[in-house]
Amino acid sequence: MAPRCVLHCASSLVLILAWGGGCRTGSTKRVADPAPQRPTDPPVQHVVQVFAQKPWLNLDSAGDRDPEGIGYRVFLDAGTSRGVLRDGTFHIEMYAIGKDAEGQLTRALVSDWHYPTAEVATIAEPGRLGQGYFLRLRWATKDVAGKEAELITRFEDPQGKSSRSGTKRLRVPKYPN
């Protein structure tokens, strides 16, 4: 099953074609499919996003240095302060932050993604934060470089219960040509 991805630009279809069966990179691998939540498993209470110092992905064929995506880790906390693997769906939203003509702050949705956890790479060797997922996302428009962006990751379990991360604001780099 290919990842379900809803994006605001037809050109982002490249992401789906590039990933095929999900994102699997050299530093991550599929550890095990998460078991369906048993009635005794506590529900996910918090979603934790962890970003590297430079989380940017260069995914275009043009070869410019500007990033076209982002990679980061996600941990689902069921109240134990350690990540767990669960069956469900990730819903990720990315907003571009800017200013309008009057100088007022604007916030516009530029990309959103929807992936079942079974289609997302898991972290190969769980550490202090426990088990988790590695998301690699390509945004829908090329003009995100040089802007501030906000990312929000939400997890929804099969029963429809949702938990979300805090909002993470990042400045996307833009490099001179």
User: pLDDT tens digit string along 34-65?
Assistant: 555 555 789 999 999 999 999 999 988 767 88
pLDDT-derived band at 33 (thresholds 50, 70, 90) equals low
Please state, in angstroms and rounded to a whole number, the distance separating the CA atoms of residues 88 and 176: 41
Please state, in angstroms and rounded to a whole number, the distance separating the CA atoms of residues 6 and 12: 9
Q: Name the token pair of 18.
A: 């590039």
pLDDT tens readout for residues 95-131: 999 999 999 999 999 999 999 999 999 998 888 999 9
Q: Which residues contact 56 (CB under 8 A, 6 or more apart)?
A: 67, 69, 70, 172, 173
Q: What is the CATH number of domain 10-28+43-171?
A: 2.60.40
Chain-centre distance of CA 70, in angstroms? 8
Q: If we measure between CA atoms, which residue out of 111, 96, 116 comes closest to residue 157?
A: 116
